[in-house]
């Protein structure tokens, strides 16, 4: 009703954006409440917070399903012609609206209740190392998620594709099957060659006594050097590291630490700062609009992995960081940049995804992709999941979990109904390598390395700003990667990188 009362010069796009701004604000309020829950909220606040988040989700859903919003999108589509930005605004708004409209409200509520229960029983099951505690709730979440996928995709056969598309627009089972099988065929022999090399890497440079305050100080200094603006962001402790962007001028990072090993904190902070730089780099001109946010989870993860792995695990970075490292931890034994580099680039198959190295990490993701595809497709029963998990690990990584806590119970995702999410981690790794290769070509390998060694990361950040951050969601993820790198996404840049690490470290 406010839309029809608007001034005569108001365009259809103006009307859409006016309706959309409030949707973005509600999303930001929900993110802030979730951030607070993970960082500052006393345990007693949990029940009240669940109510707040559910209420916000309900209002957000109503706003997305409001008839005037769909009318506004239709009007933009009817009027825009060649205006690329207006068409993209309508495309992204329609995508969110159709998703909200296609899932019945009672299914949404049932899933919210089921995942809330499953999250609790997953924690209990993991603690007790007993899958049977989680089994029934997982089966319920899976059944409802299959129903949800079918509602989103139009039929049961499209359910997994529809779930994938939610996290990564354009990702399909067929495309991922092809991409992942190619990757697997390369990675398994590399892993095998490393195992056969007989080389054991000395990781002692990573171990020692690293006081928490000093680790925080070093992490903040590195985040600042990377270009993170602490007038528009902050760093707090949390059980699980994450990044939450309320808007480009309010980006929250979290971290955790190990006082005997500097790697989790420093690399974790670099990872989350990579996410945070993306959020801070989203263009102010599209703030609170449908295309103003990050384009996909895979591209988001490419930003974190690029800074964590391509910068933080590199020798040029450590030529700059090493004196700071020694100043920060004066009691720790003197090391060379090469000692540190070795400790940061160890390749060894393991059972736990979040602790995996760059070579084997994607095999952990491929295992989950195969299993969840079978679960959602109805080809694998929940009762057979623990054994299927162990078999898949043995097949792909050559290791077999002996307890469920190290196997099927290690990840939170499925308890939350997040089927289709895991592949974005591997997409992120591949995009990161391809973007870094393009940035290196544009800037020049020698200049880029010299800048890292001088603690200057502005050249790389400017390239990412211009080629990734500033586009926000104007283009689809595939188009963004092609435009930034000059070719479609492929695993070769990533494979060249891990081969080089294995050659230097293991002589294979």
Q: Residue 250 forms beta bridges with which residues?
A: 247
Q: How far is the C-alpha of 388 from the C-alpha of 288, rounded, in Å?
A: 44
State the minimum distance, in angstroms, from the CB of residue 279 to Zn ion. 12
Residue 254 or 304 having the CB closest to Zn ion: 304
Q: How far is the C-alpha of 392 from the C-alpha of 386, rounded, in Å?
A: 10
State the minimum distance, in angstroms, from the CB of residue 243 to Zn ion. 7
Residue 152 or 265 having the CB closest to Zn ion: 265
| The two structure tokens encoding residue 188 | 């398994």
Residue 137 or 279 having the CB closest to Zn ion: 279
State the minimum distance, in angstroms, from the CB of residue 275 to Zn ion. 6
Q: How far is the C-alpha of 369 from the C-alpha of 113, rounded, in Å?
A: 25
Q: Which residue is nearest to Zn ion (CB)?
A: 304
- Contact stretch for Zn ion (CB under 5 A) within 13-21, 90-98, 304-312, 344-352: 304-312
- Contact stretch for Zn ion (CB under 5 A) within 299-307, 318-326, 382-390, 403-411: 299-307
Catalytic residue among 168, 272, 372, 437: 272
Alpha helices in 80-131 (DSSP H): 84-102, 105-128
Number of residues that bind Zn ion (CB under 5 A): 1
State the minimum distance, in angstroms, from the CB of residue 311 to Zn ion. 15
State the minimum distance, in angstroms, from the CB of residue 301 to Zn ion. 5
Look at the block and give the residue holding tokens 């703030």: 287
For residue 323, CA distances in Å to 52, 320, 326, 330 come to 47, 7, 5, 10
State the minimum distance, in angstroms, from the CB of residue 12 to Zn ion. 37
**Contact predicate 300/242, CB 8 Å:** no
Binding mask 64-103 for Zn ion (x = CB under 5 A): ----------------------------------------
Q: How far is the C-alpha of 376 from the C-alpha of 392, rounded, in Å?
A: 17
Task: Please give the backbone phi and psi of residue 209, each rounded to the nearest 5 degrees, phi first.
Answer: -110, 115
Residue 304 or 309 having the CB closest to Zn ion: 304
Q: Is 304 exposed, middle or buried (0-12, 13-18, 19+ CB in 10 A)?
A: buried
Residue 303 or 392 having the CB closest to Zn ion: 303
**Contact predicate 323/336, CB 8 Å:** no
Taking the CA atoms of the chain, what radius of gyration do you get in angstroms?
Answer: 23
Residue 76 or 430 having the CB closest to Zn ion: 430
Q: DSSP letter at 311? A: I
For residue 233, CA distances in Å to 29, 184, 276 come to 16, 38, 8
Alpha helices in 282-357 (DSSP H): 297-305, 315-328, 337-344
**Contact predicate 239/191, CB 8 Å:** no
- Chain-centroid distance, C-alpha 260: 27
Residue 73 or 270 having the CB closest to Zn ion: 270
Residue 13 or 302 having the CB closest to Zn ion: 302
The number of beta carbons lying within 10 Å of the beta carbon of residue 32 is 15
Binding mask 253-292 for Zn ion (x = CB under 5 A): ----------------------------------------
Residue 212 or 354 having the CB closest to Zn ion: 354
- Residue 426 touching Zn ion (CB under 5 A): no
- In order, the DSSP letters of 246-283 are EETTEEEEEE--BTTBSHHHHHHHHHHHHHHHHHHHS-
Residue 304 or 429 having the CB closest to Zn ion: 304
- Contact stretch for Zn ion (CB under 5 A) within 78-86, 178-186, 204-212, 301-309: 301-309
- Of the candidates 269, 300, 356, 320, the residue with the CA atom closest to the CA atom of residue 167: 300
Judge whether 272 counts as a catalytic residue.
yes
- Of the candidates 305, 329, 297, 354, the residue with the CA atom closest to the CA atom of residue 219: 329
Helix (H) or strand (E) holding 243: strand 243-247
**What is the 3-state secondary structure of 149-197?**
HHHHHCCHHHHHHHHHHHHCCCCCHHHHHHHHHHHHHHHHHHHHHHHHC
Given candidates 296, 302, 304, 309, which one binds Zn ion under the rule CB under 5 A? 304
The residues carrying an active-site annotation are: 272
Q: Which residues bind Zn ion (CB under 5 A)?
A: 304
């Amino acid at each position: 009703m406010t839309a029809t009362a608007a001034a005569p010069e108001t365009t259809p796009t103006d009307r859409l954006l006016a309706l959309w701004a409030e949707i973005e604000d509600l999303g930001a309020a929900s993110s802030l409440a979730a951030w607070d829950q993970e960082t500052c909220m006393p345990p007693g606040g949990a029940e009240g917070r669940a109510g707040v988040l559910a209420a916000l989700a309900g209002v957000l859903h109503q706003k997305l399903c409001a008839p005037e919003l769909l009318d506004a999108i239709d009007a933009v589509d009817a009027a825009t012609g060649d205006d690329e930005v207006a068409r993209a605004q309508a495309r992204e708004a329609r995508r969110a609206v159709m998703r909200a409209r296609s899932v019945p409200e009672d299914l949404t509520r049932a899933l919210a209740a089921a995942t809330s229960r499953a999250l609790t029983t997953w924690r209990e099951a993991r603690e007790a190392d007993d899958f049977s505690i989680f089994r029934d709730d997982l089966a319920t979440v899976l059944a409802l998620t299959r129903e949800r996928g079918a509602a989103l995709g139009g039929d049961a056969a499209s359910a997994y594709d529809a779930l994938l598309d939610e996290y990564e627009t354009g990702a399909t089972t067929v495309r991922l099957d092809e991409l992942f099988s190619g990757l697997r065929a390369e990675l398994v022999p590399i892993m095998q060659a490393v195992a056969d090399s007989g080389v054991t890497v000395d990781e002692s440079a990573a171990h020692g006594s690293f006081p928490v305050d000093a680790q925080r100080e070093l992490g903040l200094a590195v985040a600042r050097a990377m270009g993170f603006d602490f007038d528009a962001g902050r760093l707090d402790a949390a059980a699980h590291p994450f990044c939450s962007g309320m808007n480009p001028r309010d980006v929250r990072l979290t971290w955790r630490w190990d006082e005997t090993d500097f790697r989790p904190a420093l690399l974790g902070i670099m990872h989350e700062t990579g996410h945070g730089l993306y959020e801070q780099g989203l263009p102010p001109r599209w703030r609170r609009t449908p295309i103003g946010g990050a384009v996909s989870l895979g591209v988001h993860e490419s930003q974190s992995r690029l800074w964590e792995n391509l910068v933080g695990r590199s020798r040029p970075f450590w030529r700059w960081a090493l004196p700071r490292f020694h100043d920060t931890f004066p009691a720790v034994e003197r090391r060379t940049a090469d000692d540190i580099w070795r400790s940061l680039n160890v390749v060894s198959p393991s059972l736990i995804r979040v602790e995996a190295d760059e070579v084997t990490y994607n095999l952990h993701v491929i295992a989950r992709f195969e299993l969840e595809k079978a679960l959602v497709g109805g080809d694998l029963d929940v009762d057979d999941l623990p054994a299927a998990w162990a078999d898949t690990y043995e097949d792909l990584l050559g290791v077999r979990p002996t307890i469920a806590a190290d196997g099927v119970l290690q990840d939170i995702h499925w308890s939350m109904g997040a089927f289709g999410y895991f592949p974005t981690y591997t997409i992120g790794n591949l995009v990161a390598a391809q973007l870094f290769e393009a940035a290196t070509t544009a800037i020049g390998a020698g200049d880029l390395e010299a800048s890292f060694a001088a603690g200057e990361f502005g050249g790389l950040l400017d390239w990412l700003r211009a080629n990734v951050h500033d586009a926000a969601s104007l283009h689809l993820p595939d188009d963004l990667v092609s435009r930034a790198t000059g070719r479609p996404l492929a695993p070769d840049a990533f494979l060249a990188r891990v081969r080089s690490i294995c050659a230097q470290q293991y002589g294979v």
